[in-house]
Chains A and B, each alone.
Chain A
């Protein structure tokens, strides 16, 4: 069965670091981009960045460039989203999703269950 299972909810203080994970199974991990998407509570979906595990090529949204780091470990078919110093504005649900399709015709399926990150002093 194809699955993306994310790490659990986190509560952090501003300035702390954090790394959340997305464990995949049921398909060839190296062959598909993985995207990370943010959803602030009550708001819409925002693409943050994507990684191609086959060669570790990473693309970031200009809105998140410099604030996050995306990585992947092929040996355990897991992708990661990392912050070096969290801000309160990072409070959100973060989803990972497999990217399907070809150039300029890409969609996300399936999605992980989401990881809630709360940043509060």
Chain B
């Protein structure tokens, strides 16, 4: 089964760029999806299939994926972006979701 590794925390000043990584063996060959979870709320997908954004998600959220690392980038960070972020892929053997451990983004 896939193991996805995320940094536990990332801190960023307002207006700067937050970069959240998701490491996995040959993750570049998989589709990666990203979720934002604010305190007390359910997760919301912010990027799917590596780079696509659902309607309503700001362009400030972007994704990339290559080699052994997928990345979620949040540009011009706002206070409202403070949340936990999870990456997710599908397990090759039985097509079920596998989540990374999550990264807490703190806006300074």
| Residues of A in contact with B (beta carbons under 8 Å apart) | 35, 37, 44-47, 50, 59, 61, 95, 97, 99-101, 103-114
Contacts and interface: CB of A to CB of B under 8 A. Distances in A.
A44 B88 contact: no
Interface residues of B, number: 24
Interface in B44-67: 44-45, 48-49, 54
A40 B99 CA distance: 14
Given A47-B97, A100-B48, 19 more contacts: A44-B99, A45-B43, A47-B98, A95-B42, A95-B43, A99-B97, A101-B31, A101-B49, A101-B90, A104-B90, A104-B95, A107-B48, A108-B33, A108-B43, A108-B45, A108-B88, A108-B97, A111-B43, A113-B42
B90 A106 contact: yes
Contacts of A108: 33, 35, 43, 45, 88, 97
Identify whether the interface residues of B are mostly helix, strand, loop, or mixed: loop
A114 to B, nearest CB: 5
Interface of B: 30-31, 33, 35, 42-45, 48-49, 54, 86, 88, 90, 92, 94-102
A30 to B, nearest CB: 19
A23 to B, nearest CB: 15
A113 B43 CA distance: 9
Contacts of B42: 95, 111-114
B6 to A, nearest CB: 9
A105 B90 contact: yes
5 contacts: A46-B99, A50-B96, A99-B97, A108-B35, A109-B44
A45 B86 contact: yes
Contacts of A100: 48
